[in-house]
Each structure stands twice: as C-alpha cells, then as structure tokens.
C-alpha cells in the first residue's frame, strides 16, 4: 500500500529551482532515505510534504488524499509528523512536559471544559499523561522524565524530539538528520532505535541523513537528489554502486 506519493513536485524561489519534477513513492512500513550533497533540495522536499511550502508545480498525495497546499497543523492531524535538523525542544520545560504538549493536539475539548476542569477533561488529561509516560518508556527516557530537557545529553534530546513527534500518532514519521552530532556509538544505537519504533508503532519512516553508515544500515530504499533533480533510486547496494551518485558526491577527474 502506497502511503506517500509525490507527482512531479517542483519548488521555485524567484528564478531558482530548488526541486524539479520530483516523483517519489513510499509504501507503508518502509524506511526510506533521501540523500544528496548540501544544497540538493532535501529539506525543501520535506517542507513541501509537511506544508511549510506549497509546491510551485505538482501534487502530493498521502494515503491517496491530495494534501498539496494543506496547512501544516492539518497535515499533522492527518498523520505526518517530523523532526528537525536543529533540535526544537521547549528547553526550559521538563522532558514529560515536552511530550504532554504534543499530546494535547489530540485532546478533543473546548476552552470552557479546560478552564473549569470538567470531569471529562480531567479524565482525558489523565489518559494523555499515561500515554506520555508510556512513550518516554518506549524511547528509554522514563527515568529522566522530570529533568529539564536542556539538561539531557545530545542523543537523548534527539530521542525526546522523536517521542514528541510520536505523541501526535503519526503514520508517516519524517526525520531530518537524526544522527547529526552523534558519536559512532550513538549512531549505531540510533539505527536500532529507528527499526524498533517502526515496528512498535507501525510506522513508515522517511529520513534525510548525511551519515552514510546510518543511511546504508537502516534504510530499505534510498532516493538521491542532486541540484534538485532525482538522479537515482534503489537499494543501499544499488546506490553505493551507482556512477551518478558517486559523481555527485565525489566529482570526476
């Protein structure tokens, strides 16, 4: 079953074409990599899928629904969540509070019930807290749930950001350079972690990553962008041996 499809999406900024006629198809439960040199258009692609940018041309389909031009918060409610290259936590809040805030997106209550704390609202808040604690347990952060998020080591901050994305109940999780800033041991643990959350939460995962060991170790298929154009698609072995990919990364004599 296809969960995400892009149909010749193009993004222009003035006279500059950042992404050109990109066709991409992702099936349910796949772990897909999107790679390419700096400036290839990877983040622009993510921004189109998540509603930050409206494509200049082309359409985007999520579970066969045309989501082109839909606002970011509406796309999140449909089931697409993302993390960012630069970690965006509420640094002065606790680990638990960071996840609670994300969970409140699914809290179906009005302002009146929230202000006076009706029994129904308190019941829903209790369920959200239980869900948040369970999520932190799943990502290995239960023991630090009451610590300030800014006090966590870098690798744990990454896990917290992913837990916050998981709190929105996504079907498609988009990770923007999850291994950035990690040491080799943390990167190895990240690969196992990505597989674990894919299986446990029945997710499809699309990730940008410059760390080739992570990409080749965890992704089942890989798309390669260069100057906004798709130059290759295939398995990790096929991508490693593709002359166009080698040229894009290493150049030619």
CATH number at residue 235: 3.40.50.300
Residue 75 maps to a domain: yes
Please tell me the predicted confidence (pLDDT) of residue 84: 81
Residue 176 maps to a domain: yes
Residue 107 maps to a domain: no
The rounded distance, in Å, linking the Cα atoms of 104 and 97 is: 11
Please tell me the predicted confidence (pLDDT) of residue 90: 84
Residue 100 maps to a domain: no
Low-confidence spans in the chain with pLDDT less than 50 = 111-112, 114, 253
Beta-carbon neighbour count of residue 115 at 10 Å?
A: 9
Please tell me the predicted confidence (pLDDT) of residue 230: 96
Residue 124 maps to a domain: no
User: Which of 25, 29, 75 shows the shortest CA–CA distance to 204?
Assistant: 29
- The H-or-E segment that residue 82 falls in is strand 80-82
Domain of 65, in residue numbers: 2-79+170-250
Beta-carbon neighbour count of residue 200 at 10 Å?
A: 11
Please tell me the predicted confidence (pLDDT) of residue 116: 57
Residue 8 maps to a domain: yes
Residue 91 maps to a domain: no
Please tell me the predicted confidence (pLDDT) of residue 112: 45
Query: Whole-prediction pTM value?
Result: 0.87
What's the structural domain count of the chain?
A: 1
Q: What is the 3-state secondary structure (H, E, C) of 8-20?
A: EEEEEECCEEEEE
User: Which of 77, 9, 78, 1 shows the shortest CA–CA distance to 47?
Assistant: 9
């Amino acid at each position: 079953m296809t969960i995400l499809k892009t149909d010749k999406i193009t993004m222009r900024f003035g006279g500059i074409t950042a992404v050109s006629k990109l066709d991409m198809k992702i099936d349910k439960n796949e772990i897909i990599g999107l790679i390419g040199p700096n400036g290839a258009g990877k983040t622009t692609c993510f921004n189109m899928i998540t509603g930050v940018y409206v494509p200049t041309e082309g359409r985007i389909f999520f579970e066969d629904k045309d989501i082109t031009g839909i606002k970011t918060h509406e796309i999140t409610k449909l089931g697409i969540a993302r993390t960012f290259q630069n970690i965006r936590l509420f640094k002065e809040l606790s680990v638990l509070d960071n996840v609670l805030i994300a969970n409140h997106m699914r809290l179906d209550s009005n302002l009146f019930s929230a202000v006076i704390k009706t029994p129904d609202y308190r019941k829903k808040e209790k369920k959200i807290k239980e869900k948040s604690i369970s999520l932190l347990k799943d990502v290995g952060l239960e023991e630090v749930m009451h610590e300030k998020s800014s006090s966590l080591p870098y690798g744990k901050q990454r896990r917290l950001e992913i837990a916050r994305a998981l709190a929105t109940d996504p079907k498609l999780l988009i990770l923007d350079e999850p291994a950035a800033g990690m040491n080799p041991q943390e990167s190895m643990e990240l690969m196992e972690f990505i597989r674990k959350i894919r299986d446990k939460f029945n997710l499809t995962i699309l990730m940008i990553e410059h760390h080739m060991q992570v990409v080749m170790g965890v992704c089942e298929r890989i798309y390669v962008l260069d100057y906004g154009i798709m130059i290759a698609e295939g398995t990790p072995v096929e991508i490693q041996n593709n002359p166009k990919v080698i040229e894009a990364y290493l150049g030619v004599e």
